[in-house]
Each structure stands twice: as C-alpha cells, then as structure tokens.
A and B are shown apart, each in its own frame.
Chain A
C-alpha cells in the first residue's frame, strides 16, 4: 500500500503579526507502510511546520495541496481524530500541564484513543501494568508518573515521556520532531530503542532531525532533504552522512 501517508503539493502559511507568511510551498512526500523516513534540513526550512500541519494545529492555514493518511483526507480531521486514526506527533518542546497528574493524563489519552478505535478501555490496574512495563523499558522512574505532565522534567525526561506516550498510544504513524535535541548519548540510545522496537510492517515513522547522529540509531529507509518549504532531494540513508560532512549547500545549489 503505497499511499499510506501521501502529501502532494502541500502549501501552508502562518499569520506572523498580521502578515501571512508562506512556509510550506508545494511539498511532496510519500511514506509507505512499514517504512521509516527521515527529514533533514536547515533551520527555517519548515520541518516543524510540516509536523504541526500533519498533526492538525490550527494556527497554520493550509492554502493548497493535499495530505491523505490511510486513504483519508487528513487535513479535514480534528487533531484528536488524527490521533485515533493512528497518527502521533512527538513534540520538539513538550508542553507542561501544571497540576495534571502524568499517569492520569496518559490513561485519559490512551482510553480516549481506544474508545475512538472501538477498543475496550483499560481499567486502572490494566493501565498501570501496561505503563509500568513501558517505563521500565525506557528507564523512567515511577516518580515521573506521579508528577504533573512535563512540569519540572529535564529535557531528557520530557523526550522520554513523549516516547512513552507514543508507545502507549500505539500509533501506526509517528512523527518525531527533533526528538534527539537535548538528549545525551545514553538517553538518545534509549529513545531510539523505544522507536526501533515499534518497527513492524504496520508501523511507519517520519523522523525529523538536524543531526545525522540520531540516524545512527534509528536507521531510516529513506532520507529527504527539506529546504524553503519543499523536499528538494530524496535518497537512501547515505545522504545523511553526506549532509553531515558537506552540509546542505550542494543540495541547495542543485535545487536552485
């Protein structure tokens, strides 16, 4: 099934202090079922915008093009409907929810998604069992479940919490937006392992990153280079190594 995630000519803009600013300018991308793709690109190329638009953040205005997921018009769905359909975005900067107990948040989210997918909700005991297995896997302390969502979490803890959510929500498509930023090498390995163990013929991911380093741990099937709101080059995992050595210049020149 080649049209698992299919983006065609996607254009989007954001209102920057009253003047609309075009960020995505005709982006094409396909991620088939079971594949992990990476997007690399310089700052300001629109990588994060792409992830937000796919997840349904409404301060971006889609002005053209299309995005379908599992054959459905993704852009017509509410963010929570996209989550139910199997889309997951691991945030670059996870948001703090003061006073909201992390375990309670996770369980509310898991059950909301299960309900929408027509699955039975997890009771407190079943949920705790599931979550404990995952936290152990991610070397997270139980203490993080008792604290308020992301409040007072270190950068590494926040990212692990994102991966924890991803694993609990069991998405079929995950977007990881610079999940490697702010991680030391051990944390990076743990996070990457969390993603790799989801690899299956039914799971795809889009890994957005600045650095080749993450791709040592999560080896992508394809790498796309993004600049000026478009994918300007696509290829095998080797591109990442080329980028690391030579920078974006050659791709930018070739695209110009």
Chain B
C-alpha cells in the first residue's frame, strides 16, 4: 500500500475515532494534571473502566518502578528525563501543537512532500491544532474506510480471531488478558517496562485460536482501524496451537508527538507449532538536524515460544526517534522452536540507537537467526547489542548471528556488542561481523550511470539491507526502501 493511501486511511480513521479508545467522553477531564503518582495510576484505570485486578496489577508495577533506576548501560546519552513533567493520561483530541504548518519544522514538511502526502494530511501528521476537525470532508470523498473496516472485522470474526484495543480486551476478555499479560515481560522486568505496566493506555490485543491461520496481515486492518501512536503502548499477541499470524506496526510517514518519552511493551506467546511474525517500521520524529525535539523510544519487546516447533520472527526497520533503546527478544522454551531477528537501524544527524536482541535457548534443538544491519550517517551513533544464551538443556541448539555496519561519512559511530553465553557443550553459536563504508568508487560508478548521488546512496543502502527487507511483508518492503533513502538524504557530500 503506498504511503499516501495508508496515510489517508490512518488520517481518516483518526478523524472519526477520537473517542474509540475506551475513554469516557468528558471534555473537562480530557487531560490529567502533570505528574506520576498512585493517583495517576488509579485515574487511568478508572477512566478506562478496568476491573480491580487490573488496577492492582498496575499499582504493583508502579510500586516496583519507584524502587528501580533508569538503566545506564546502553551506549546512549540524553539529559535526565523528568518523569513528573509529563501528562500520563490525555484524550487524543485536544493536543497542544503547532497552530499551523508554518510552525512545523520545514525539514519534516519536505519529507512529507517527498512521500507524496497531501497538505491537509501533513498538518495532521505534524500535530497541527485543529487539523483533525478540518479533515474528514476532504478524505471522505476519496475513500470509505468504514465499509472496508467492517468487512475486515467480519472476516476476522468468522475466523475466530480477536483483534481489538487492549483496553477493550481487558473489559471484554478479562480471563485471557489476565492469564497472559505480564507473563513474558513481567511488570518489574526493567525500569521502562515497569513504567509502562503502571500507566499504559493504548495498544492492541490479538488472539488467534487453535489451528487458525489469520486470514489477513493484521497490518492491513490495523492501519485502518487503530492508531498505534500512544506514548505507552501495550501489545499482547497470543497464537494457540498451530495458529499463524503476521502483525505489522508502524507507519512510514514520519510522525510527531508532543510526548518525548515513549515506552512500549510488546508480548508475544506462541504455542505448539504456532508462528508469529511481528514487523515494525519505526519512523518517529528524530528531532531537527541538531537532534532537538526528537522522540526517546524505550521499548521492551519479547516473545516466548512456549510450544514445540513454534516460531517467532521479529523484523524491524528503525529509522526514527532521537533515541532508540530496543531489544526484541525470543525465549525458546519449546523443543525445536525457532527465533528470528532481522533488523535495520538507520541513524543520521544526531540520532542515537542502541538496539539488538536476546535469544534465550532453553530447550533442545532450538534455533535462532540474527541478522542486524546498522547504518550510521552524520554525527549519529549506533550500537548493536545482542545476547545469545544457551541454557544447560539446550542440546544441539544453534544460533547464527550476522552484524554488518555501514558508515556514511567520518563523523558517525557504529558499535557491535555481542554477548554469548553457552552452558551446553552440544550447542553451536556462530557470530559474524563486518564494518564497511560506502566508497567513493561505488558512488562514482553509480553516478556515471546517470544516478543522482542520493539515488546512488539509496541503492547501495538498500542493497546492504536486502536480507532484512525481504523479510518484510511485500507492500511494506517497498515503502521501507523509500524510507531508508529519505532518512539518509543529505548525508553524503
């Protein structure tokens, strides 16, 4: 789906669905006062009409969070975050933002123009005040997403798939949520996961019953129906025995948000012979050329292959955010289960990324593959950090890791930090790493064939990332390629 259509659909849905998130509509109360304390947590839970057990769970997480400290081991630098200087509950409707496009970073607008996004949609993406109200008429005429959404909903329901906002799931499927929530990423797992557990307000819930192959890429439905742009998202995906699902989060169009801190948690659970493919294209606002105003993205993503021969595959294309702290991981508990991690992380200007994965092999004959491509340009800094752990019972387990870094210019940095722990003599772990630069020879060769310098860089970078991009759902791979090129514009010469 081209970026334009997708944006149009997202936009249209947004314009119509400000109240669809389980919020009580109370204009006076659409934003909680700044600050984070038990009262904030209680307010969120109450506003969302949650049962007592959910509130208790949140409060427990909050109390754990109070005892924890922000991790400092990552290769990231940022001013201290004041957790009291933020709103933890706000209706999406009344956001303080730029008054008009004139106040928006012109670089951001240029990017929108390159992606072919019409002006009124640009206003919405950039968070211009009142943009939502001005939208529906223009988009309505073009596309009737309600009917499409209804069709999708019907198809999913017929297959027995549950797919809804997590807030709805807590109310409508409490037994399922209660059974699985926090089982992969416990509330006290780490500082940011604890924070998320206490205050999450958005996110998705997916349940694929036994033997069901989800009849569509959940991205398709998702991008029309939901707005995956919450500050503290919580996503929970469960695939029962022999169930299969492919889920895609994110958007290629750069998105702004007035909330600088983002801390999402994603949990995946795959039962026997089940397969979950989770793809991400992350393109949060990276800040201006100096890195001012960019998003801090601290994410905990983890999946567990509980059943034998189950499979979890993470694919991510990370181009946005000022700071990315993210390690989508797999716990391979089922015999013969498979974990995969395919990643492209691009940093430009003053962006920083510390990202990678953890593959925890608990059971015999488990296999994992890690392909991580890191591209650094400008003054940016990028780190691959990965753990492969072979536990004593992981007989004949295998891992293959390949980390390639591509440097553009001489002001950037790339670091590879592999941790390998093997407690089983029969397990095999392979690690390959390379670092290279785009050479003048390559650029000149392409340009002498008529390609502009930027097209040449795009082509070379996409070639470098090919192994990862081919793992993305087709429609998205094309957009991701375009995105990589745009992210690196102006990085050469």
Residue of B nearest to A104 (CB): B459
Report whether A100 and B463 are in contact in the complex, using a CB–CB cutoff of 8 Å: yes
1/0 contact trace for A101-118 toward B, CB 8 Å?
A: 100110011101100100
Interface status of B79 (Cβ within 8 A of chain A)? no
Q: Which residue of A lies closest to B444 (CB)?
A: A57
Number of B residues, CB within 8 Å of A: 23
B460 touches A97 (CB 8 A): yes
Nearest chain A CB to B458's CB is how many angstroms away?
Answer: 9
**A131: which B residues are within 8 A, CB to CB?**
none
Does B78 have its Cβ within 8 Å of any Cβ on chain A? no
Report the bound CA distance from A75 to B452 in whole Å: 17
Asked, given contacts A59-B440, A148-B463, whether A95 binds B450 with beta carbons under 8 Å apart, the answer is: no
Tell me what chain B mostly uses at the interface: helix, strand, loop, or mixed. helix
The reply on A84 being an interface residue by CB < 8 A is yes
Contact between chains at B464 and A112 (CB < 8 Å): no
Tell me which residues from 414 to 471 in chain B have a Cβ below 8 Å from any Cβ of chain A.
Answer: 439-442, 444-453, 455, 459-460, 462-467
Residues of the B chain whose Cβ atoms lie less than 8 Å from the Cβ of A53: none
Considering only CB atoms, which chain A residue lies closest to B434 in the complex?
Answer: A98
Within 8 A of B (CB), among A69-105: 78-80, 82-84, 88-89, 91, 94-101, 104-105
A60 to B331, CA, bound (A): 55
A165 located at the interface, meaning its Cβ lies under 8 Å from any Cβ of chain B in the complex: yes
Residues A80 and B450 in contact, CB atoms below 8 Å apart: yes
Q: A97-B460, A99-B464 are in contact. Are A91 and B445 (CB under 8 A)?
A: yes
A36 at the interface (CB under 8 A from B): no
- A80: B residues at CB distance < 8 A: 447-448, 450-453
Residues of A near B442 (CB, < 8 A) are 95-97
Distance (Å) between the CB of B368 and the closest chain A CB? Answer: 23
Q: Which of B459, B465, B467 is in CB contact (< 8 Å) with A97?
A: B459
Interface residues on A, range: 20 to 34
Distance to closest chain A CB from B422 (angstroms): 31
Q: Given A59-B440, A112-B455, A148-B463 in contact, is the A97-B450 Cβ separation under 8 Å? A: no
Interface residues of B in 106-137 (CB under 8 A from A): none
Q: Name the B residues within 8 Å of A108 (CB-CB).
A: 451, 455, 459
Q: Tell me the bound Cα distance from A98 to B437 in angstroms.
A: 12
Let me know if A79 and B447 touch, CB within 8 A. Answer: yes
A83, B444: Cα distance in complex, Å:
12
Contact assessment for B445 and A84 in the assembled complex, using a CB-CB cutoff below 8 Å: no
CB closest chain-A residue, reference B466: A99
- A97 → chain B closest CB, angstroms: 6
- Which residues of A sit under 8 angstroms from B459, Cβ to Cβ? 97, 100, 104-105, 108
Bound complex: CA of A98 vs CA of B460, how far in Å?
A: 8
| Chain B positions within 8 Å of A78 at CB level | 447
Q: Cβ of B455: which chain A residues have Cβ within 8 Å of it?
A: 108, 112
A109 to chain B, nearest CB (A): 4
Known contacts: A99-B467, A112-B455. The answer to whether A79 contacts B448 by CB under 8 A is yes
A94 to B451, CA, bound (A): 16
Partner of B447, one of A83, A98, A169: A83
7 residue pairs, one from A and one from B, having the closest CB atoms: A99-B463, A100-B463, A113-B450, A109-B449, A83-B450, A79-B447, A95-B445
21 example contacts (A-B, Cβ-Cβ < 8 A) are as follows A55-B444, A57-B444, A80-B451, A80-B452, A80-B453, A83-B448, A95-B445, A96-B442, A97-B459, A99-B462, A99-B464, A99-B465, A99-B466, A100-B462, A100-B466, A104-B459, A108-B455, A108-B459, A112-B450, A113-B450, A165-B449
Interface residues of A (CB under 8 A from B): 55-59, 78-80, 82-84, 88-89, 91, 94-101, 104-105, 108-110, 112-113, 116, 148-149, 165, 169
| Extra inter-chain contacts (7) besides given A80-B451, A97-B459, CB under 8 Å | A55-B448, A79-B447, A83-B449, A91-B445, A96-B442, A104-B459, A105-B446
